[in-house]
């Protein structure tokens, strides 16, 4: 099995909620996939990019990394105003920062209503 196939299996095997809805003013915790420390993942990290109405969601700091995993388990923040925010999580090499080829990104959408 190729490394990219194994990484896709690890990243996409557990069900991750891909759509969230919140009301303005609500605190929110968006769950991310848990990446276990393995020989396939030891040099991998998830790079998060935020698109859309980025001012609608104010992220709070302090994303914790759980024991035995190599990436944060959630995105925490507050829905500030109505809009749609898209989070794209891409597997990248922890050392070079380059995207891992053939690994499907994870897309999470947050809709904020008044």
Dump pLDDT digits (tens) for 75-107. 999 999 999 999 999 999 989 999 999 999 999
Radius of gyration of the chain (CA): 15
pLDDT digits (tens, 9 = 90+) for 37-75: 888 788 888 899 999 999 999 998 755 555 555 567 789
Confidence of residue 3 (pLDDT cuts 50, 70, 90): confident
CATH annotation of 3-113 = 2.60.40.1080
Please tell me whether the overall predicted TM-score, pTM, comes out greater than 0.75 for this model: yes
State the pLDDT at residue 43.
86
| Alpha carbon separation from 61 to 10, 29, 39, 74 (Å, rounded) | 26, 12, 29, 11
Helix (H) or strand (E) holding 100: none
């Amino acid at each position: 099995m190729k490394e990219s196939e194994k990484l896709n299996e690890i990243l996409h095997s557990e069900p991750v909620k891909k759509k969230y809805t919140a009301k303005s003013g609500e605190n929110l915790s968006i769950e991310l996939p848990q990446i276990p420390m393995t020989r396939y993942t030891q040099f991998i990290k998830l790079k998060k990019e935020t698109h859309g109405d980025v001012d609608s969601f104010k992220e709070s700091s302090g994303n914790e990394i759980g024991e035995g995993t190599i990436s944060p388990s959630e995105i925490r923040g507050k829905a500030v105003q109505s809009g749609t925010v898209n989070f794209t999580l891409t597997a990248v090499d922890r050392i070079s920062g380059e995207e891992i080829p053939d690994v499907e990104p994870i897309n999470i959408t947050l809709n904020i209503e008044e």
